[in-house]
Structure 1
């Protein structure tokens, strides 16, 4: 596949493959950012969440990493090699992490994966710890416990600062084809507004200053909810949209199902109106100064667009509408231009983002 020739035949597929394996997979992604990684209670919460994940998809996991060296280890069953249940409870202070995924090759993007990084505490340069996991997009259709209820239980256990869940572009555990991967990721970001584009290492550094933005399920702890006027004020702005409470915060649900949207097919964008409503509510606290997530291309591709600082901030603002604007246009504002060649929309009604009726 040539990334420069993205076509309808391959850009809507659930995986993107190269000779070196699976470069991208589109799936249901869950990401939670938390503090207190050096505390035993938080480590126990992570292990509890991981146990839940194993109960659901443990037989699909094929690779993990050595907790000391980071080297990949092929699995013959998820517990055929040392597990975090063996070492994390007695682990001392300092950074810790573990990763599992279900790819055929050690670097493959996969529909199954679970990774955690518990950062070392640095009060001068605060970073967040993070947990990510993935499911196939149809995984919860026939299950009694749906994703919102599962996420609510996990938030009760972990008490995250914030997080999100929905359709996500999961990238390979490799730097092969980096330029082509960045260009494809940029094009996916431009075309499908509902698709989450992640940079775990960059997010841990930047998102201590504010939540990333809206997804189908958006997690905010009470600290962030208070900055928006408190739980009940947010609940009132949510209107008929569900708000799932847990002890230390709430989950804002943008409609009955996750939505992808397609800027090449404007008729699909109406389905994102619930995302726009939630985005307008959380706009006052959404991070505005995130760094770019793509490196510079090699000289042969230096002319191609990427998610540099300007473009990634534009992407983060792709649902930036005020509630007044949404009501005036039945949930659809006219698209504007935030960066050259993009089709990310902005509000043209002269209203400040996040202003309620």
Structure 2
């Protein structure tokens, strides 16, 4: 099942069963929207300044909803004084230090928030084996607001472009309180029932895991250039998605985002629904670079037998694999190879750019304008020969590759 613009009521239908309330009706676990991104250089003054500016931006946009912060070890009302103090402490912090800052709509540390911003910058000597993180929380109701979807995606694109994001995800998630460990059993039970929802209670602590691989498919799945290259590049992904136009490719400065539909994919309720088709497809694409989950989605607590351990975590990471393996084998990308665009002498050049051709070991170069007739190859005796020219570089900086299958079709 996939959602369209008229189907937000589908998610609302599941809210009572995909969330948890205390006896007094207050929220213990919400079903909401998140954006979690991982990036390097969180020890540098420039990036720490940008992280502070992220909090400033979120606070300016959602200030009426944000109530509490954690300046020390106590859940405290946000004031101008403690806001300015925490802000300046981060700006003045040493690259050898770690920092975090949270603003939340949760009035108590045991209540699940509708809105929250959390930033964590890592130490300079962890830059190669850990990642800094930003996590934003929004209510589902944002999608029903005028231009709500656009605001949500705008936040995602801004984060990816501002922080050279390496990986991350955005979409439906179970939103736990700041004191999240007491809710592990509930998140565990909900995750088994609703596999289309991201488990991210420890997302802000998973910077080390982000170095090893991607967490898995979500409504938006972020592929920084290092991960994108391991999958063969943007052109290969586009080829593999030729039969799945619902998945959109959103480029950003340092990578690509896979967007699985105009609205979040279905929850995939275990007893009544199939697995979300678009998440199954995204899983197929990213499986070679996916983290295996060996560190666990939860850590040890008193609820050991009712939460994720290593075995159940690794099984959760594999939850889409069987369905992904059953997809059309033509979509696996094994028959794809990148080849440069070519054009024969006498044909019109498709681009402004620089070309090369080789005949009998001699290379010649030419520069053409779009629509210009491609020249012949002229040998040392002045004889002209029809030649196949290969595009080396486009003046507009565009792609010089075409998609070619084993059958030779372009």
Deviation of 1:90 after TM superposition, in Å, equals 2.6
- Structure 2: distance between partners of 1:202 and 1:85: 21
Moved more, 136-145 or 8-17: 8-17
1:42 counterpart residue number? 47
With over 3 angstroms needed to count, the CA separation of the structure-2 counterparts of 1:38 and 1:319, relative to structure 1, is same
Asked if residue 280 in structure 1 is aligned to residue 287 in structure 2, the reply is no
- Structure 1: distance between partners of 2:170 and 2:180: 25
- 1:283–1:354 CA contact under 8 A, matched in 2: no
Asked if residue 24 in structure 1 is aligned to residue 50 in structure 2, the reply is no
Trace 1:120-135 onto structure 2 (pairs within 5 A): 120-123=123-126, 126-135=129-138
- 1:38–1:118 CA contact under 8 A, matched in 2: yes
1:52 counterpart residue number? 57
- 1:322–1:354 CA contact under 8 A, matched in 2: no
Name which of 17, 22, 36 aligns with 1:12: 17
1:188 counterpart residue number? 190
Count, aligned residues: 314
- Give 5+ residue unaligned stretches, structure 2: 1-12, 336-410
Deviation of 1:165 after TM superposition, in Å, equals 0.4
Deviations 1:144-188 (A, max 9, x none): 334223311221111111000001111112267x3xx22211111
Name which of 216, 227, 241 aligns with 1:224: 227
SS at match of 1:183: helix
Trace 1:168-187 onto structure 2 (pairs within 5 A): 168-174=173-179, 178=182, 181-187=183-189
Deviations 1:298-321 (A, max 9, x none): 4xx66x442100111111121225
Deviations 1:78-107 (A, max 9, x none): x45334543322322211110110012233
* Structure of higher CA gyration radius: 2
Asked if residue 245 in structure 1 is aligned to residue 248 in structure 2, the reply is no
2:88 counterpart residue number? 86
- Structure 1: distance between partners of 2:123 and 2:250: 31
Name which of 274, 288, 294 aligns with 1:290: 294
SS at match of 2:257: strand
Trace 1:207-218 onto structure 2 (pairs within 5 A): 207-218=210-221
- 1:321–1:354 CA contact under 8 A, matched in 2: no
Deviations 1:303-356 (A, max 9, x none): x4421001111111212257662238xxxxxxxxxxxxxxxxxxxxxx9x9666
- Structure 2: distance between partners of 1:238 and 1:48: 36
- Structure 1: distance between partners of 2:186 and 2:155: 31
With over 3 angstroms needed to count, the CA separation of the structure-2 counterparts of 1:297 and 1:38, relative to structure 1, is closer
Q: CA RMSD, aligned part only?
A: 2.9
The TM-score with structure 1 as length reference comes to 0.79
- Give 5+ residue unaligned stretches, structure 1: 1-7, 329-350
- Structure 2: distance between partners of 1:273 and 1:10: 21
- 1:322–1:356 CA contact under 8 A, matched in 2: no
With over 3 angstroms needed to count, the CA separation of the structure-2 counterparts of 1:91 and 1:210, relative to structure 1, is same
Trace 1:301-312 onto structure 2 (pairs within 5 A): 304-312=305-313
Deviation of 1:205 after TM superposition, in Å, equals 2.7
With over 3 angstroms needed to count, the CA separation of the structure-2 counterparts of 1:317 and 1:103, relative to structure 1, is same
1:263 counterpart residue number? 270
- 1:206–1:290 CA contact under 8 A, matched in 2: no
1:335 counterpart residue number? none
Question: Higher strand fraction: Structure 1 or Structure 2?
Answer: 2
SS at match of 1:110: coil
- 2:115–2:139 CA contact under 8 A, matched in 1: yes
Deviation of 1:264 after TM superposition, in Å, equals 2.1
- Structure 2: distance between partners of 1:136 and 1:60: 11
